[in-house]
């Protein structure tokens, strides 16, 4: 059998980088996407693995992404898994919001997953199999007190996930999402202890999630062990209270 191939957007740091590592450990060929050539090069140097390559194509450029995915398919013979992980968060108060900011968040968090999913689905339909996984968030269930575009985008991701699962299932394509809670990424690490401790107290497991916790959920949903799971939004948040 040829190696399975996984495409991961937002794969240069945090949850995305941990997910790249997890899929490499599972024996996949991985194509990671980052926002800039320098961040992609840094990630590739750190990984130091012949089974990974990197790209920095603009994710909302439909023509360029279609070209990329066609090249990946031609090079490796398959695209088995797509993980739409690239995204940006925001906490701007609504009274200070602008249409430009709202559009910026929605472009990367919603339009990019649509563009990449569409390109992947065309290939997966032809193959007769494939898995599309999206990064949602616990705020897609609960909202958040500021930064309205971020939870709005994650509500949209949930809708995209469930709808595509229903539409693409007949082609052998499964579509699911992982909804992380507070995760120990660089952004959280930079927070003062007095902010982190109350977060921990709100989590029954009494710890903040690690990027590897989220990566393991992606690996499971991509695997044959999840072969009858589609249209699911899997919370990985330690049952955090809100």
Residues forming the active site: 150
CA of 117: how far to CAs of 9, 108, 160, 164, in Å? Answer: 11, 13, 10, 9
Q: How does 1-18 read in b/e, with b if 16+ C-beta sit within 10 Å? A: eeebbbbbbbbbbbbbbb
- Radius of gyration in angstroms for the set of CA atoms belonging to the chain, rounded to a whole number: 17
Query: CB neighbours of 199 closer than 8 A, spacing ≥ 6?
Result: 182, 208, 240
- Name the DSSP letter for residue 173: E
Query: CB neighbours of 191 closer than 8 A, spacing ≥ 6?
Result: none
Query: What number of other Cβ atoms are within 10 A of residue 198's Cβ?
Result: 8
The beta strand positions in 36-101, using DSSP E, are 52-55, 81-84
Q: Are the beta carbons of 174 and 165 closer than 8 angstroms? A: yes
Half-sphere exposure of 69 (CA within 13 A, CB side): 26
Q: Are the beta carbons of 173 and 121 closer than 8 angstroms? A: yes
Query: CB neighbours of 153 closer than 8 A, spacing ≥ 6?
Result: 87, 105, 106, 109, 110
């Amino acid at each position: 059998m040829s190696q399975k191939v996984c495409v991961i957007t937002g794969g240069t740091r945090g949850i995305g980088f941990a997910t790249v590592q997890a899929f490499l450990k599972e024996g996949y060929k991985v194509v990671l996407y980052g926002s800039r050539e320098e961040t992609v090069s840094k990630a590739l140097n750190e990984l130091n693995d012949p089974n990974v390559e990197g790209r920095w194509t603009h994710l909302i450029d439909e023509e360029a992404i279609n070209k990329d995915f066609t090249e990946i398919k031609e090079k490796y013979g398959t695209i088995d898994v797509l993980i739409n992980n690239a995204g940006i968060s925001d906490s701007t108060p609504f009274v200070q919001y602008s249409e430009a900011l709202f559009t910026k968040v929605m472009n990367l968090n919603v339009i990019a997953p649509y563009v990449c999913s569409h390109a992947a689905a065309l290939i997966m339909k032809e193959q007769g199999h494939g898995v599309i996984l999206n990064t949602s968030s616990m705020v897609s269930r609960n909202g958040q007190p500021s930064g309205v575009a971020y939870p709005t985008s994650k509500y949209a991701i949930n809708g995209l996930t469930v709808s595509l699962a229903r539409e693409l299932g007949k082609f052998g394509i499964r579509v699911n999402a992982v909804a992380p809670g507070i995760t120990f990424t660089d952004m959280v690490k930079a927070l003062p202890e007095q902010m982190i401790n109350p977060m921990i107290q709100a989590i029954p497991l009494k710890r903040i999630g690690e990027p590897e916790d989220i990566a393991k959920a992606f690996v499971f949903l991509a695997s044959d062990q999840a072969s009858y799971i589609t249209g699911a939004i899997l919370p990985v948040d330690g049952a955090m209270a809100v």
